[in-house]
Structures are given as C-alpha cells and as structure tokens.
Structure 1
Amino acid sequence: MHHLQHITRRQLFQTCGVGLGKAALASLLCQTSTATAASAASEPHPALQYRPRAKRVIYLFMAGAPSQLDLFDYKPKLAELAGQPLPPSVIDGQRYAFIQPDAAVLPPQFPFAKHGQSGAELSDRLPHLATIADKIAIVRSVTTDQFNHAPAQLFVNTGSAIPGRPAIGSWLSYGIGNEAEDLPAFVVLKSGGSLSGGASMWSSGFLPSQHQGVPFRGSGDPILHVSNPESIDQRMQRDSLDLIADLNRQQLQATGDPEIAARISAYEMAYRMQSRAPELMDFQQETAATLELYGAEPSNPAKAYANNCLLARRMAERGVRFIQLYHAGWDHHSNVAGGVKAQSKQTDQASAALIKDLAQRGLLDDTLVVWGGEFGRTPMVEASAALGRAKGRDHHPQAFTMWFAGGGVRPGQTIGATDELGFHPTESPVHVHDVQATILHQLGINHEKLTFTYAGRPFRLTDVHGHVINTLVS
C-alpha cells in the first residue's frame, strides 16, 4: 500500500513546517516511489542493455575550462594573425561572457610536437601525458550549450544548466549500484579552489538521497565526524545505531517514506566506513616508487591533486563506482600562458600516472578515465589589439578538447577537428550529452532507458538528446 495512505493527520502537519507547501512534495513522492523500489530490487535495471566494458569511472574534471588552443589543438593560423582583430563575420551572432567586437587574435602560447605512434599533437606543457599518447583518445570537437562557468559545470555534470538534477555518479549509483560494501558508490575529491557549480554538481537531485556524491577530504578525517568522540567506543556506537535503526524502521513501517530507508542505509554505510576510510587514506601502504610516480605527498596541501589521483586508484581497487576529481583554477581571462603553465604543472604528472598505475595493476581495461572541463577558450583575447596585453582568453562553448582512456576506449586516436582558427568543429562534432551517453554505454547502460519519473514525466541524464560516440569506443 502506498506510504502516503499511512500518514496521519498529525504526521501531515508535523512535516508541513510553516505551512502546507510540503503537500506538493508529498505528491511528488507518490510518483517516485515505484522507481525507488525498482532501484532497490535485486534484478538488473532495465537500462542495462549492453555488455559492460567498464565497471567504474574516474572523471578528472578541470573546472574553469583549460585552453585547448594552448594544450591540444595547435593552430598555426593564429600565429599568422596575432594581434589582428578577427573578421566580424566570425563572431557575429555568437554569445560570449566578455569579448569586445574588435577582439584581437592571440597565438598559441607554447610549442607543440607529435608523440607516440599515434602522432598525437600536444603542447610542451603536457610532457607526462605525451608519454602515454598511445594509451588515450583525444576528442577535439566537443561542444556545449552553456558559456558561463556555473551553468556549464552543472551541464557537464548533471545534463542540465539548472541546479536540482542528479549528477552522473548519482545516475550510475541508482542504475547499477555499488561494488563496494563499505564505501559509497559515488565519491567526490576536490582540489585547487572553489567551484562555480557548487555542491549541485554531485547532488542526487530528485533521486533518493543515498545516491548523492560523498565528498572526501584530503587531510584529517576523510569525512567529517567519521571518527567517534573519545567517550564513545565501538560497542556503544553499534548499540546506538541499532536503536536508531529500530526507531527508523518503525517510522518506515508507519509511513512508507522512502527517505527513511535512505537514512537507515546512510547510517549503516557510515558505520562501515569508520573502519574502511582510515585504511583507504593510509598512503603508508604505497611504495616510494608509486608516490614518486604521482608526485604525491600526503601531508602537502600543494600536492592535493596528485594525492587525489592516487586516492582515486585506491578507491577503484576497492570497488567505488564513480570517482569524481574536481580541480579548480583553469579560468584564465588574463595571462593564459602563466595560468596554463601553473595548472599543467599541478595536474599533468598525476593524470598520466593514474593511467600508468591503473594499467600496470590490470585495472585500466575496466576503468573508464575521462579528462576535461566545462568549455574551451577563444582564439582571441577579450579586448582590442591595443588593450590586449593581458593575453587572456574568454569562454568558448563552440569547441573544446577532452581525452579518454581505458574502459573500452579505442586508444591512440584523435577524433574531430576544428577550423583553422579553432573556432568551430569541422569534423565529428561531439555534444556534452554525447559524452554522457557514452559514459553510461561503457557501463552497459542505454542512456535512453535509465529514467526516473519526477514531476509527472520521466527524466534521464541526457534529457531528450545524446548519441554514443561510436568512433571513440569498442
């Protein structure tokens, strides 16, 4: 019987807060209970329609938007036109954050060279990535609908520019669950500063709350309050949780509210994590050679990204389904050369080390690694040639670069191309929704079938869009 039929008049007014506004929420819970029950069932989700090529995802999200023109997409034409304004026809009808009408062309800030048997063309700011050029696939023609940071970051992570939609990791947790019994299915690791998209980027949205991302800290307790106070021993903790669980089960039986089931699950997961989390964070188990490979220093906050990459590998070994690394600091409206140089120094070694380490441990074949930001950078500076000495690039949604490795990705290829100015895709355009569809596909999921009914209609990560990038994957 539906849980709302068990709510008493007193319970209704207890949960209404300052008014009857939550009555609308109750009606939405009616619509979602069936899907919630389906997610908890033991049989496979109906969206599982393909042979999985990956068991887990590690997503290296470079917040702020790396300049593809100074890292991946070499354009000699920009050097020829340096300091000149672009023809008005190029930017007519385009929307930008700060570009002026007479914005001047900015040439590539670093030399490029080809690497590996694949001949991948990379900036000299990526010397470590160059050593694994044949293990990755580069996509130069990614495009997005958003041109400001917060909505663009939300769009990449949740499929919508508006807060409130579930993140990719939440969809995976909901659709195929978790392999780890004592760690969350969806873990978030942060470095480099603040994020424009905020916590909405790892929210479970309208999915049950047990599917939300769990942020881990790089020092101290990995999760706040995971350690017991000195006066609480393990026996007392277990007895307290058992009592709370009994009370919650009584309330669940009385009301059928699915969020109570989520609360019970969260308490039990937190208890299991109390023993697992400290072991997970203990890098003393790692060899000196592994720490050197990543450039990791557990006690050094300046090495947060490298530490997080190593931690991501340890989580992959322990069955975490979706591991999201957010590294902020790529927003270079001025001094793009200095900014790219600094951020590449922080991230290049550890990103390449992650691929090497996964491969040597036999984990790369079933771990999909994704690297990219929310959009790209323009081929021109924000101001005119006379004022363009700051040499920064504006937001560019039309074309940017991502790379992929492992998890059924066909390595050693470069997909897509842009015009001679790096402005528009000219070959194999790839939309953000296509990237999302492909991630789900590699874990065996048909993105059109993984849905959740909310507010009267079925929602999915890719909304009504998205196609698998068949040239990228096998």
Structure 2
Amino acid sequence: MPGPIPRREILKAAGCGFGYLALAGLADQQARAGVVDPTAPRAPHFAPRAKRVIFLFMQGGVSQVDSFDYKPRLERDAGKQLGFDDARVLANTGMRGSSQLIMKSPWKFARHGESGRWGSDLFPELNQCVDDLCFIHSMHTEGVAHGPATLFLHTGSATSVRPSMGSWVLYGLGTENRDLPGFVSIAPTSGNGGTRNYGNAFLPAAFQGTALGKAGGRASEARFRDLASLGQTDDSRRRHFGLLRELNAERLRRSPGDSELEALAASYELAWRMQDSAPGVLDLAGESKETLSLYGVGTPETDDFGRQCLLARRMCESGVRFVQVTYGDGTANPAWDQHANLAKHSDHARAVDRPIAGLLRDLKRRGLLDDTLVWWGSEFGRTPYAEKKGTGRDHNPGGFTVWLAGGGVKPGFAFGATDDFGHQAVQDRVHMHDLHATILHLLGVDHERLTYRYAGRDFRLTDVHGRVVRELFA
C-alpha cells in the first residue's frame, strides 16, 4: 500500500488545476462579453468629427459667475436680499422663494480674443485661448449634492449603478492602441462615487477605466497599479508569463467559443504588453524644456496638474480613446467646493490655468486638436448669492458653464444663457444628457443606438433622454 503523498508533491501535481480554477473563477465574475476581442476597433455609426476625448474634471463646482459667465447685475445688486428658488432649500423643504444675499464677484471681467468672449482674471492663461473654446452657458443637471451630481456627470444616473461615459465610448468604438488601455482615468478621486466614475458597471470588464495615480498623490509618482513584476528578472517574467499563457491556451482549447474566457485571457495579454509600452508613455524625460514649461512642469503650484495634462496629451498621441484628468486634492471636501471661502478659487485656478492652456496650445500646434475633443467642467456650478450670508457660494445645478475645444466644435463660440444673476439656465438650455449625446455624436456615435442589453432591457448612457446640440458644431 503506497504511503502518504507529501504536501509538496500534491501542490506540484495540482498546480495547473489551481490555475484553471482561478482562471475559471475570474471568468465567472466577468459581464457577458459579446465579441472575442471586445476592445478591438469598431466602426462608428457615421463619420466622426473627433477620434478621442480628454475630459478635464474640475471636482467640486467651479463658480460660473466668477469665471466665464459675466453678470453685471451682481455688482449692481450686491448686498441686497432677494428671493430665489434655491436648489438645496427646494430639495430639503420644498419651499420656494428663499431670501438670499447677492454677492458680487471678487474678480474682474473683460472681453478677450477676437471673439470677445467674457472671462474673469481668475483664469488669465485660458482667457488667451478663448478663440479656441466653445462655451455652453446654459448647462443644468441632476443632484444638488456632490455624490449624486458627480455620478450623473460620469454615468448619466444619480442613483443606479451605470457604466461611466469613458466605458461607453470604449464599448462603442474600441481602442486605437492594442498596447495601452482604451480608457484611462488620471488621478481619480475615491469620493463621490469613487471607482464608479470610471467603472464599467454591467458592461464587460474589458471596458472599465484604468486608474493612473490618485487624487492628492504626486503626479511624478503616478504609475499603473500592479503592472511591474516586483522582484523578478526579465527572464523570469518571460517564463512566468509563458506558463500563464500556456495555461490560458489549454483552458481555451477545452472551452472553445467561451467569450468570457477569451476576454480574460486578452486582459493578461494587454497587461504583458503594457509592461513594455506604458513606461515610455509615462516617462516625460524626452519632452523639451519648452514643452515642460508650457504645462508648468517644474513650477511648484502647477507641477502636479501640468504633469497630468502632459500625460493626457501623450496618451492621446499613443491612441488612448478616452482620458479623464481629475483636479482634486484627495480630501473629503472636493477642491472647488468653496462654501465659506470663495477666495480659495484663486489657489485652484493657479494650479490648473497654465497647464490647461498649455495642453490646448500643445494639441493645436501638433495638429491633435482637430480630432481631439477637450471637455472642461464640473458636476454643477455655484449660486450667485452668498451661502448663509457668508463669503462663499453653495451648489447650483440649475445653471452653469462648461466648455469644449477642438474635435469639430465651433471655436470662439458661446451657446445658451443663464438669467441676469447667473442662477438658472433660461436660453437654449442644455441638460447633462444633452451634453453626453452631443459628445458621442462628435465621436461618430448615435447615442440612441449605443445600447447594451442587461437584466432584460436595453440600456444606454443617455437613458431615454438626450438631444444632440448641433448648434455647437463647426
């Protein structure tokens, strides 16, 4: 009768089985993948004006009446108590006509560029780029708190778990570079939805965003997580991956046509290729001193966001389809959320103004702005009156400003308007669903046709809403 088998022999003999079990377990967690290579390039529904998107997310709510939506009446009526339908009061009590103290902007406005667009001295560098910007002054959205409004901005839903916009774009168009993720979120925040803001929800896992760094972390140290094989030589890495590839191939041979398994195996292949391609994209050493200065890299107050914007440009050059760059400090309070100290807007503006202007100029001179859509904005705006009669402004989802640049939109153009106080969108109103539909259209995607069947119904980014704002198109 044979003796007991040593534990080492059992593990050695069962090693491949454990590998199969792990792979099968991971595959079982994936959403249903509809194609063998889910991120392969797909033809758009019609000729696109833009090939890719850079979304500059100003977390917390930039004040429209202190940046690009000039309202002289705030100066004339400063200090007066007037009645407003305040969004927070309405949400909490249902009451209308609350009395509020009008607060004028501490920043001076002037017209800029050949287009004569208004801008305050909060953003002096961006004011020099207004002839490339397409302003939407009549935005409105859902949610008066940061969490719901941020989720709505990113996913089109404030309550349900839905795929993020970048995931929808990757699902609809695929990636332009097989050696990099098609959707990257640079310095994402962990609050107000966290990973859901770049997550895939019920779309196959291949379409989720890949995080690079985190809010509050140093951009110079940002890396893709778990990419490097720590403690391994190049030779051992190759042998390790070769074994994994053989295990995957054997499992695929036993389960022909298993699209979930194929997608999972493809993710390992991408991770392997990224070990060679990603470090070069993240390395800024080859950039000229002039380019680094253009973005503010090397200057303390602009270095972090400047690096993030420069990385966004390098990723676009490398074929990444959707790049999100978040400006946030990683704290519980979103960066632009000045309820009692509006002057803090100046600190944040100094951190992003030069890098964003540098990004626009760099894209333009490289010929990338023509087919790259740059989108700048927050989850909502801010009130034209002082919060609690103080020195800050509260959240305002009823009327605010975003701007687009490049990618087929009209340069030096302004669309829509808020009322005389900059409180509510009143002319050519644009809902967040409309903005999503418009951005998809610029990418050559019909927002009504970009659907995914889940739980017995077809879902889309814009739900059952959204109109394409064609007035913005060049």
Aligned to 1:37: 35
Distance across 1 between alignment mates of 2:253 and 2:161: 29
Counterparts in 2 of 1:242 and 1:131: CA distance versus 1, 3 Å: same
The answer to whether the Cα contact below 8 Å between 1:39 and 1:174 also exists between their aligned partners in 2 is no
Aligned to 1:399: 399
The answer to whether the Cα contact below 8 Å between 1:297 and 1:307 also exists between their aligned partners in 2 is no
SS state at 2:325 partner: strand
Distance across 1 between alignment mates of 2:222 and 2:238: 20
Which deviations, in whole Å up to 9, do the C-alpha atoms of 1:3-22 show, x marking residues without a partner? xxxxxxxx99x9999xxxxx
State the Cα RMSD in Å. 2.9
Aligned to 1:62: 58
Q: Does 1:181 align with 2:187?
A: no
- State the TM-score, normalized to the length of structure 1: 0.86
Q: Does 1:190 align with 2:195?
A: no
1:394, distance to aligned residue in structure 2 (A)? 0.8
Counterparts in 2 of 1:297 and 1:162: CA distance versus 1, 3 Å: farther
The answer to whether the Cα contact below 8 Å between 1:63 and 1:195 also exists between their aligned partners in 2 is no
Superposition pairs for residues 144-183 of structure 1, below 5 Å?
144-162=141-159, 164-183=161-180
The answer to whether the Cα contact below 8 Å between 2:24 and 2:261 also exists between their aligned partners in 1 is no
1:342, distance to aligned residue in structure 2 (A)? 0.8
The answer to whether the Cα contact below 8 Å between 2:39 and 2:174 also exists between their aligned partners in 1 is no
Distance across 2 between alignment mates of 1:292 and 1:470: 37
Distance across 2 between alignment mates of 1:39 and 1:415: 40
Residue 382 (structure 2) aligned to one of 367, 373, 377: 377
Letter in 2 for 1:342: D
* Structure 2 unaligned regions, length at least 5: 1-19, 214-218, 329-334
The answer to whether the Cα contact below 8 Å between 1:368 and 1:405 also exists between their aligned partners in 2 is yes
SS state at 1:87 partner: strand
SS state at 1:61 partner: strand
1:225, distance to aligned residue in structure 2 (A)? 2.9
Aligned to 2:436: 436
Letter in 2 for 1:429: R
Letter in 2 for 1:333: H
The answer to whether the Cα contact below 8 Å between 1:149 and 1:197 also exists between their aligned partners in 2 is no
Q: State, as a whole percentage, how many aligned pairs show the same letter.
A: 41
Which deviations, in whole Å up to 9, do the C-alpha atoms of 1:301-342 show, x marking residues without a partner? 962111100111111111110000011211111111x22111
Which deviations, in whole Å up to 9, do the C-alpha atoms of 1:89-134 show, x marking residues without a partner? 677983379x994331111221100001111000111110111111
SS state at 1:404 partner: strand
Residue 45 (structure 2) aligned to one of 29, 43, 49: 49
Letter in 1 for 2:289: A
Residue 205 (structure 1) aligned to one of 177, 187, 201: 201
Distance across 2 between alignment mates of 1:451 and 1:144: 22
Letter in 1 for 2:172: G
Distance across 2 between alignment mates of 1:95 and 1:275: 51
Aligned to 2:9: none
Aligned to 1:114: 111
Counterparts in 2 of 1:38 and 1:394: CA distance versus 1, 3 Å: farther
SS state at 1:438 partner: helix
The answer to whether the Cα contact below 8 Å between 1:154 and 1:163 also exists between their aligned partners in 2 is no
1:433, distance to aligned residue in structure 2 (A)? 0.8
Distance across 1 between alignment mates of 2:344 and 2:160: 29
Aligned to 2:130: 133
- State the TM-score, normalized to the length of structure 2: 0.86
Letter in 1 for 2:338: H
The answer to whether the Cα contact below 8 Å between 2:211 and 2:224 also exists between their aligned partners in 1 is yes
1:239, distance to aligned residue in structure 2 (A)? 2.7
Aligned to 2:371: 366
Aligned length: 441
